[in-house]
Amino acid sequence: MLNIKEVFETTNMIEHENLDVRTVTMGISLLDCSAATVEETCARIEAKIRRHAGNLAATADSISAEFGIPIVNKRISITPISLVGASCCRTPDDYVTICKTLDRVAKDLGANFLGGYSAIVSKGITESDRLLIESIPEALAVTDNICASVNVGSTKTGINMDAVSLMGRIIKKTAHRTGDRECIGCAKLVVLCNAPDDNPFMAGAFLGVTQGDAVINVGVSGPGVVKAALDKCHGQSFQVLCDTIKKTAFKITRVGQMVAQEAAARLGVQFGIIDLSLAPTPAVGDSVAEIIEAMGIERCGAPGTTAALALLNDQVKKGGVMASSYVGGLSGAFIPVSEDAGMIEAVECGALTIEKLEAMTCVCSVGLDMIAIPGTTSAATISGIIADEAAIGMINQKTTAVRILPVEGKDVGESIELGGLLGTAPIMKVNGFSCEEFITRTGSIPAPIHSFKN
Amino acid sequence: MEKTVITVVGKDAVGILYKCSEFLYQHNVNIKDIAQTVLDGFFNMMMIVDVAGIDQSFESFAKDMKEMGSQMGVDIRCQKEEIFDMMHRI
């Protein structure tokens, strides 16, 4: 029988330490929705999403009420839309039409984000991929709940540098197109390397072609719970530190596992994976930076930060895999600057730079995330930043990503207010030396030697 | 049996347990176990109950119980037992 200490430990995590299930994301395959016309494709897409996800929000809400655990987001991920629209889209505007349909359906169903306005171009770009990518600035400007992603490389294929170069320009255009709204379009656009097929988190969520017709993937959270546990370990050995993180991660993940199984059963779809990521929010006490600081680093970004993050990430995984047999997605600690109160403070006081963040992305998921930079930054420099991150992902066989906002009219020392979970982004300094010649070369960086494992 | 855990936290006062038990009786909910402590004047109680015979939906029961708690100045949460079992039992 449960004892009172255990019961209050759980309720305390929920009440005071921001424990929640960050997202229940339903993946829906749209491969069977391709038609000869844009109108027919849109109609099929709408019908299929409604058929599967019609009860998603209500089901998540009732699970939340019964078990007393907040489920923050109800989301949908879909087949990369460049595959679905290839049969009918002849202009970027055709893709924008599909995007508007997706936005309307997502809003109707209570999904705060729908991910999968995506193209997978790690080896080459099809005509359909190109149209989709060119439509992104307009598509993200005229919709609210749609997230776009482009996978530009992988360990198996190398890095498509033509796509990297193109995405630098697309990010600039997206920032310009939504310049009157703090460049919000760029917060919904991520460039990935080694993108997973089953990621429940935005903006990089899509349902890969390896997946079934419909699947439930769940992202747990709980930086606040880990921080609270570590606050009791000051002065203790690394063993105590590791054990504490593992035990906490286990408990958090078990809650996610329960919610995922319950949601899959009630919605009559397959349970996919639990994503173990520690996902911060702008709320104080729900920060990955604060965890690093609780380990004994004065400010996130100081020497020792990368080691602390590596330890954290590894122990979260070790605790998490014991709690769920099906772990996937990104699974690690997220370090989105604008969405993490401790990261914002670390940037503002000069402890955390883009270069340090890049080093941190070598040991955690997922990449340079939610970083605002001066609007004067060139497209080639943004492509250089993307190429660096993609190289880290390709060589280390891990997912990396760049979600960066070149904010027009703003410079270092200023900040932008994105609101809600997206938070506040201080403008960060970017290295001013050029990589123009490197980026304007055509072709791709070949797959690394360790990709030939056959 | 459908076990649910009810937690009550708040300033200690006369009749908290009485009112909770009365409410559970009115809704045909059977109490299986009770543990409580008072720490620094704060009342902490945990009840494990069986809601198999409950006379309304679980969601409205939990909402009404929470509402009754706020009238007494205590926070009452009703959560199905599985969340605690999953977290604390392998």
Identify the closest residue of chain A to B34 by CA–CA distance. A4
Report the gap between the CA of A253 and the closest CA in chain B (Å).
8
Residue A234 has pLDDT above 90, yes or no: yes
Cβ separation A251–B62 shorter than 8 A: no
Chain B residues inside the 8 Å CB shell of A64: none
Identify the closest residue of chain A to B81 by CA–CA distance. A67
Question: Residues with Cβ < 8 Å from A342, sequence gap 6 or more?
Answer: A280, A287, A288, A289, A290, A292, A293, A300
Cβ separation A2–B88 shorter than 8 A: yes
A124: pLDDT confidence band, cut at 50, 70 and 90?
A: very high
* Tokens linked to A379: 């497209």
The residues of chain B scoring below 50 in pLDDT are none
Q: Within 13 A of A420's CA, how many CA atoms are on the CB side?
A: 7
Q: If you average pLDDT over every residue of chain A, what do you get? A: 95
Question: Residues with Cβ < 8 Å from A105, sequence gap 6 or more?
Answer: A45, A46, A49, A50, A114
pLDDT 10s digits, A345-354: 999 999 999 9
Angle at A126 between CA A125 and CA A132, to 5 degrees: 85
Cβ separation B7–A258 shorter than 8 A: no
Average pLDDT over residues A134-139: 98
pLDDT 10s digits, A176-221: 999 999 999 999 999 999 999 999 999 999 999 999 999 999 998 8
Report the gap between the CA of B38 and the closest CA in chain A (Å).
12
Query: Which DSSP category does A362 fall into?
Result: T
Q: What is the DSSP string of A165-203?
A: HHHHHHHHHHHHHTGGGTTHHHHTEEEEES--TT--SSS
A13: pLDDT confidence band, cut at 50, 70 and 90?
A: very high
Question: Residues with Cβ < 8 Å from A97, sequence gap 6 or more?
Answer: A38, A42
Average pLDDT over residues A275-282: 88
Cβ separation A6–B88 shorter than 8 A: yes
Q: Is A122 helix (H, G, I), strand (E, B) or coil?
A: coil
Cβ separation B83–A7 shorter than 8 A: no
Average pLDDT over residues A365-374: 92
- The ipTM, to two decimals, is 0.90
Cβ separation A11–B7 shorter than 8 A: yes
CA distances from residue A144 to A87, A115, A116, A190 in whole angstroms, order as listed: 26, 12, 14, 15
Count how many pairs of residues, chain A against chain B, have C-beta atoms within 8 Å.
Answer: 66
CB atoms within 10 A of CB B63: 14
Strands (E), A264-340: 270-275
pLDDT at residue number A332: 83
Cβ separation A10–B37 shorter than 8 A: no
Cβ separation A2–B86 shorter than 8 A: no
A86 preceded by a cis bond (ω within 30 of 0): no
Cβ separation A68–B78 shorter than 8 A: yes
Residue A1 has pLDDT above 80, yes or no: no
Helix (H) or strand (E) holding A380: helix A379-396
Mutate to test the interface with B, among A8, A63, A66, A261 (most CBs of B within 10 A): A66
pLDDT 10s digits, A93-107: 999 999 999 999 999
pTM over 0.90, yes/no: yes
Kindly give the residue spans of alpha helices, DSSP state H, lying in A110-160: 127-141
End-to-end Cα, chain B, rounded Å:
21
Distance, in Å, from the CA atom of B46 to the CA atom of B35, rounded to the nearest integer, reads: 5
Identify the closest residue of chain A to B57 by CA–CA distance. A66
CA distances from residue A151 to A53, A248, A447, B45 in whole angstroms, order as listed: 26, 33, 15, 52
Those of residues 34-73 in B touching chain A at CB distance below 8 A are 35-37, 44, 46, 48, 58-59, 62
Distance, in Å, from the CA atom of A45 to the CA atom of A51, rounded to the nearest integer, reads: 10
* Residues belonging to chain A: 454
